[in-house]
Amino acid sequence: MKYPLLIGILALTSCGLETHIKTDVRKALTLCTGEEFVARVTMCQALLREAAQVNGPVTVIVSDAPRLMQELASRGLTLEQFLDSPLSTKYARANIFSLPKLSTGSFSTLDGVVHSVVCQQNDNLCRIDGAISGSADSMEADYVGGKLFTMNGWLPF
Pick out the chain residues at pLDDT < 70.
Answer: 1-22, 137-143
For the entire predicted model, the pTM comes to 0.80
pLDDT score at 143: 66
Q: Are 125 and 36 in contact (CB under 8 A)?
A: no
Percent composition of the chain: helix, strand, coil (DSSP 3-state, to 5): 35, 25, 35
CA distance 153 to 62: 8
39-75 per-position pLDDT tens digit = 889 999 999 999 999 999 999 999 888 888 899 999 9
pLDDT score at 12: 35
Which DSSP category does 109 fall into? B
Helix axes 38-51 and 25-32, enclosed angle (nearest 10) = 150
The dihedral built from the CA positions of residue 97, 98, 102 and 108, taken in this order, carries a sign that is negative
pLDDT score at 142: 59
